A and B are shown apart, each in its own frame.
Chain A
Amino acid sequence: KNEVEQSPQNLTAQEGEFITINCSYSVGISALHWLQQHPGGGIVSLFMLSSGKKKHGRLIATINIQEKHSSLHITASHPRDSAVYICAVRTTGNQFYFGTGTSLTVIP
């Protein structure tokens, strides 16, 4: 069993739809990260959170520490949001574990 599980693996949405990507983890963490990997391969950090909720533009990330679950929401999705979204956790032992990613395609 992987330390970090993401769902869905693949997601296709129409432009404008509300999108949710889920992440569950099984280890004790100090922080959870949401990453975005562009088709060219580069990875950028979207959010880092240890509790509650964070918002940046059309992106919202939430985390429930008790349930060991996090969600990434995209409101009013756009084709430029098409990418692979990766959930990662930093453990209390200072290790990083990664989900296998959710490949999102937003169709105009």
Chain B
Amino acid sequence: SQTIHQWPATLVQPVGSPLSLECTVEGTSNPNLYWYRQAAGRGLQLLFYSVGIGQISSEVPQNLSASRPQDRQFILSSKKLLLSDSGFYLCAWSQGQGLSPLHFGNGTRLTVT
């Protein structure tokens, strides 16, 4: 069966510190991978998506970056966190196009202090 793992579940980091959130998918190959951020009371904002290894598209200019070193691994990073980076981060995957469900990880609640 297909599963998605995202960690850590919660994270408290000081301003200026680095960030690394990891997401892995099991049970499928060549998934489309997504990083979303959900601010309090707001909808999901697409940060990055990837259709293959090393292929990253950025939707929002910011101090975050993403990498896909392996087919089923997606990493969200920052060199220096800002207070405004606080939020709920969700990794998701889907297969191909059209009628393919979107599967979410359990999310990471990031608080930058």
Q: Do B97 and A41 have beta carbons less than 8 Å apart?
A: no
CB-contact partner of B98 in A31, A44, A88, A96, under 8 A? A31
Q: Do A42 and B44 have beta carbons less than 8 Å apart?
A: no
Q: Do A43 and B98 have beta carbons less than 8 Å apart?
A: no
* Set of chain A residues within 8 Å of B107, measured between Cβ atoms: 41-43
CB-contact partner of A41 in B46, B88, B102, under 8 A? B88
* Set of chain B residues within 8 Å of A42, measured between Cβ atoms: 104, 106-107
* Set of chain A residues within 8 Å of B88, measured between Cβ atoms: 41
CB-contact partner of A31 in B42, B43, B99, B103, under 8 A? B99
Interface size class of B (residues with CB under 8 A): 20 to 34
CB-contact partner of A94 in B32, B46, B103, B106, under 8 A? B32
Q: Do A41 and B99 have beta carbons less than 8 Å apart?
A: no
In this complex, what residue of A is CB-closest to B45? Answer: A98
* Set of chain A residues within 8 Å of B34, measured between Cβ atoms: 96
In this complex, what residue of A is CB-closest to B51? Answer: A94
Query: Does B5 count as interface, using CB distance less than 8 angstroms?
Result: no
* Set of chain B residues within 8 Å of A48, measured between Cβ atoms: 99-101
Q: Do A30 and B98 have beta carbons less than 8 Å apart?
A: yes
In this complex, what residue of B is CB-closest to A96? Answer: B102
- A105 CB to closest chain B CB, in angstroms? 15
Q: Do B99 and A33 have beta carbons less than 8 Å apart?
A: no
Q: What 0/1 pattern do residues 33 to 56 of B give for CB contact below 8 A with A?
A: 010000000111010000000000
Q: Do B43 and A101 have beta carbons less than 8 Å apart?
A: yes
Residues of B within 8 A of A (CB): 32, 34, 42-44, 46, 88, 90, 94, 97-104, 106-107, 109
Residues of A within 8 A of B (CB): 2, 30-31, 33, 35, 40-45, 48, 50, 86, 88, 90, 94-96, 98-101
* 19 additional contacts (CB under 8 A) given A86-B44, A90-B102: A31-B98, A31-B100, A41-B88, A41-B90, A41-B106, A41-B109, A42-B106, A45-B101, A45-B102, A45-B104, A48-B99, A48-B100, A48-B101, A94-B32, A95-B46, A96-B94, A96-B102, A100-B43, A101-B43
